[in-house]
Amino acid sequence: MPRKLAAGNWKMNGDGASLAEIDALLAAHPAPGVDILICPPATLIERMARRIAGGPVAVGGQTCHTAASGAHTGDISAAMLAEAGASHVILGHSERRADHGESNETIRAQAEAAMAAGLHVILCVGETEAERDADVTLEVVGGQLAGSIPDGVTGATLTVAYEPVWAIGTGRVPEIAQIAQVHDAIRAALVDRFGPEGGAMSILYGGSVKPGNAAEIFAIANVDGALVGGASLKAADFSGIIAALEAA
Ligand code: PEP
């Protein structure tokens, strides 16, 4: 069975004072019934990892370079994330694809580097609004899966996050049937390529998940959790999403 995961992506938000949100989250969920992951900015990974060491919340990065080290000003390697205390890394987020021109080929190489460093990859896919309107969502997502997931991944090394670009940070969420259609297609593609391991990979939904809409999203088949941006910044909001996933 895929594991249930509530993953928070803080993006370029948060400072030392924000670490108190993790204390509040742990107080609310001392023994959570689902996996919980927070991906803060790189500057906070080590402090967060130290603060919650031994507890039930994991810490992750938001991207990594394809190389282990070298002349890549401003970048961070998978091994550096791991040394700082990260166990996971988000790759292929639409903001990285758009702002940094990351292609499927680059993301695949990043995923290989991440797994070589022992990190679990959260690999993001999703269509733009224009692609949804053109009725090519399944083709786009299928191409991203085929192009960016390396061979040899397992349920223990890879999670997929379906994040329609037009739903991220907008307050807009696809209809339940639209989420169900894409998640079913992702599951079928994973099983087709990876066999039983494809059935063990978690598939998260991401895009304007809030405490108020989480329960109906988590009731959809093949939705194993959420990748959450804005609502992961405050423990009170993220806690509501975690509770909904525990109850699903
Ligand atoms: C995200 O950026 O991965 C995301 C899902 O953001 P939000 O929850 O704010 O829509």
Which among 184, 213, 204 has a CA at the least distance from the CA of 34? 204
- 122 — pLDDT class (breaks 50, 70, 90): very high
The pTM of the full predicted model, rounded to 2 decimals, is 0.97
Q: What number is the average pLDDT over the span 124-142?
A: 98
CB 49 within 8 A of CB 80: no
Q: How confident is the model at residue 168, as a pLDDT?
A: 97
Q: Encode pLDDT of 48-73 as tens digits.
A: 999 999 999 999 999 999 999 999 99
Number of structural domains in the chain: 1
93 is catalytic: yes
With residue 160 as reference, give the H or E element that holds it: strand 158-162
Q: Among 215, 190, 73, which residue's Cα sits nearest to residue 123?
A: 190
Three-state SS for 38?
A: strand
Q: Return the CATH number at 138.
A: 3.20.20.70
Q: Which of 65, 93, 120, 183 is catalytic?
A: 93
Domain with 63, as residue range(s), is 5-247
Among 10, 96, 163, 205, which residue has the most ligand 1 atoms within 8 Å of its CB, making it the best to mutate?
163
Cα 170 to middle of ligand 1, angstroms: 9
pLDDT in tens, 170-218: 999 999 999 999 999 999 999 999 999 999 999 999 999 999 999 999 9
Q: What is the pLDDT of residue 133?
A: 98
- 231 to 13, 148, 191, 209, 214: CA distances (angstroms): 12, 27, 31, 7, 11
Tell me, in angstroms, the distance from the centre of ligand 1 to residue 168's CA.
5
What pLDDT is attached to residue 54? Answer: 92
